[in-house]
Structure 1
Amino acid sequence: MNTLQHGFQLNYGNTDVMLLFEGQPDHLVPCTSQILLDSDLFLVAGRMVGHSFLHGGPALAGISEAVVDVLFGASPDMTTITVEDCPDLERRQTIQLLDGNKDLSEEEKDAVWKLADMWDLPGVTSDNRKWLFSRLLQHAVLGRTDKQIKQFRRGLKETCIWQLLTERKDVIPLMFPRERDVEIKPQMVLDQILWPLETTNEDEDYPVETRCRIAGYLREFIATASQSSLRGLVQFWTGWEVPSSDMQLEIVQGSLPKASTCFKSLRLPGHYTNFKDFSQDLNACVATCDTGFGLV
Structure 2
Amino acid sequence: MKQLRKGLKESGVLTMIKERPALAEVLFPKSAEQVMDSQTILKRIIWPMPDSKDEDDHSNVEETCLVTGFLRDYTEKGSSRELQQLLKFWTGWSIPPQHLYVEVSPEITLPVASTCLTTLKLPLKCQSYQAFKENLEASVRSTEFGFGMI
Please confirm whether the aligned pair reaches a TM-score higher than 0.5, indicating the same fold.
Answer: yes
TM range (shorter): 0.7 to 0.9
Residues 276, 181 of structure 1: CA spacing in aligned structure 2 closer, same or farther, 3 A cutoff? Answer: closer
2:104–2:124 contact (8 Å) kept in structure 1: yes
Equivalent runs, 1:1-296 vs 2, <5 Å = 153-157=1-5, 160-163=7-10, 164-169=12-17, 170=20, 171-177=23-29, 182-202=34-54, 207-252=60-105, 253-293=107-147
2:33–2:81 contact (8 Å) kept in structure 1: no
CA–CA distance in structure 1, aligned partners of residues 84 and 97 of structure 2: 12
CA–CA distance in structure 2, aligned partners of residues 250 and 228 of structure 1: 24
Offset, 1:292: 2.5
TM-score, normalised by the number of residues in structure 1: 0.43
Larger radius of gyration: 1
Q: Calculate the aligned-residue CA RMSD, in Å.
A: 2.5
Q: Percent identity?
A: 29
Residues 180, 272 of structure 1: CA spacing in aligned structure 2 closer, same or farther, 3 A cutoff? Answer: closer
Offset, 1:262: 0.5
1:165–1:172 contact (8 Å) kept in structure 2: no
Which residue is 1:84 aligned to?
none
Question: Aligned pairs, how many?
Answer: 140
CA–CA distance in structure 1, aligned partners of residues 53 and 68 of structure 2: 17
Q: Structure 1: where are the runs of 5+ without partners?
A: 1-152
Higher relative contact order (CA closer than 8 Å, sequence separation 6+): 2
What SS class does the counterpart of residue 103 from structure 2 fall into? strand
CA–CA distance in structure 2, aligned partners of residues 238 and 155 of structure 1: 29
Q: Structure 2: where are the runs of 5+ without partners?
A: none
